[in-house]
Structure 1
Amino acid sequence: MSNVLLDTGLGSFARSLGDDPASSALNELERRVDEAVVRAFRDGDPAAELELHRFLYEVNAHRLLPPWSAHWHDYEHPALLAARRKAQAAWLARDRAVLGADVRVPAAAEEFAAWATKTCEGHESGVTHPLFGFLADEATFDQLRTFLSQETPFDIHFGDLVALLLPGVHGELKIELAGNFWDEMGRGSADLTHRRLRVSMMERVGVPPDGYLTDVDDFWLEELRLANLYFQTAADRRLAPQAVGMLLATELVVPGRIERQIDGWRRVGLTDPEMHYLREHVTVDVEHAQGWLDHVVVPLARTRPDLLPEIALGVLRRLDAALRVCDRAWNELRSMA
């Protein structure tokens, strides 16, 4: 194995493996992931956690792609998936210990819904965070563009993440998920799919549309962590209750945040048609939040109250990750001035 490969990050190392990696390369991958797990989740080393999340995102994002994609990589080797699973398990164990150890939630469905709503709407990652006032009133075009770019790893995949939750779910839960997915799909209009609207806005402001796949090392740890949260919980059926909580928190925290971004983009010269992607979410996400409560969370809480701690952990993991994103963006964007 070349010294060049040994000096690369874990994400780049994964890309170097190819379809039929040598056993020496797989052994090296296992060794490096084991070492990074200890440094990241036992010792609290942010550089090691960044390496792990670059690796996780590299594998997670590319495994969604079909083989005809120009960016497709074959990441199905059992040893590579075992390394991914090990990293995700250590990360989840850390979050359980930090965020979930003392979780106490109501057992009754309606009371749980009220707890979740209050927890999300009053959270520091909401519109009251100073980041959103800054985006609305002070941020330059370049600062707003950087924020839009950094949000891409999660936002660009949202429709696919919802789709991952659809199989095997029935009744009103599936109807609500399908409605959310149908909105993501532009209600049947290819030109109005949320992904296409987002890519159009990215191109308008100079954000490379494929950068979320080709330039993974450009993203902050906090943004990769947020994206990987959804990949982890939507793709692993054992963690589907957490995904439910994360999606609930997503919809409940969004109101007001989007409007502040729209205010900022208007201030620097973008027109409403150029912000179709953002404007689409002003009303849609409010509707989704209520629908998610009424048709997913409350029915689950009534039939499987034992799952409520896991749903709550999903809420708390999402809120914690979002706050870290806000804090990082607040600091990074101001340093650009």
Structure 2
Amino acid sequence: MSSRAVQVRDLVKRYGKVTAVDGLSFEVPAGTVFGLLGPNGAGKSTTVKILTTLARPDAGSALVAGEDVLRHPGRVRRAIGCVTQKVSVDPMATGRENLLLQGALYGMPRRELRSRADELLARFGLAEAAGRPARTYSGGMQRRLDVAMGLVHRPRVLFLDEPTTGLDPEARADLWTEIARLAAHEGLTILLTTHYLDEADRLAARLAIVDRGRVVAEGSPDELKSELRGDAVHVDLDGTGSVEAALAAIARVGAVRDVVAAGRALHTRADDGASAVPHVLAALDAAGVRVASVRVSRPSLDDVYLRHTGRTFGEASAPGHAREEVAA
């Protein structure tokens, strides 16, 4: 396999009048965790469906493990593992039976498959529960089994589509640890889609921020955050006063820049946030606008998203703002 495990060029996918993926391009270095970060409806899951041969693009091209997803879909399927948003284990089968069935679908020799199943059950902490029906597993255990099923045939590229959605914090942290270990110690390429900012920051060596079916920024989390010099200043207004008046007041403060409103929250940037806050509060007070809270922070991926899209990640994910992804 080349140094690029996944190569995507100008990918487009439409469902009727809805353009789910709109000229999307990115590359995934082999042996790394690459994140597709975006709010619900950004086009992440549709992209994964195309890369795993479950949907055909309307335009553009994609190579996975060196194989064209349109010309050689069978070769792509043999080279990848895929863990979808919804847990795909058979609830009536035991943990071991789920793994054996998955491996049999890939034509693995029986002896090798049994050994591989035992190895994965032990690795994911499921050995003691291997003989129990999967329906008796907790949500975290079912998700770990799901990931193990994606690995049973030793894929070169593993797709994890929103793998921690719905998990409790402890189960989520456990899965983070396993994902990081897979990339660090086995040289596996992992393409992770997520709408969790902390998950992308923690796991991805590189990531592409996706908005409305397009890549708006790409790089390592540290590279993307370092582009935003200085501090982020966040001001929450109380229920009175005009947001427009607040925006105008802060815009006149020479110590800040890039002022954006999201509801009754104002976001701006300053070279020295602590020094800028008194000037911001004074300007708002003079404009008759009351402040509920103010905080200063170092740049985050939310600030990166805000810079490139003009709205916060939370605002983009809110009902009525996120586009609906249409199922293939």
Higher relative contact order (CA 8 A, sep 6+): 1
Shorter-chain TM-score bucket reads under 0.3
Structure (1 or 2) with the larger CA radius of gyration: 2
**Which one has the bigger strand percentage?**
2
- Tell me the TM-score normalised to structure 2 length: 0.22
- Tell me the TM-score normalised to structure 1 length: 0.21
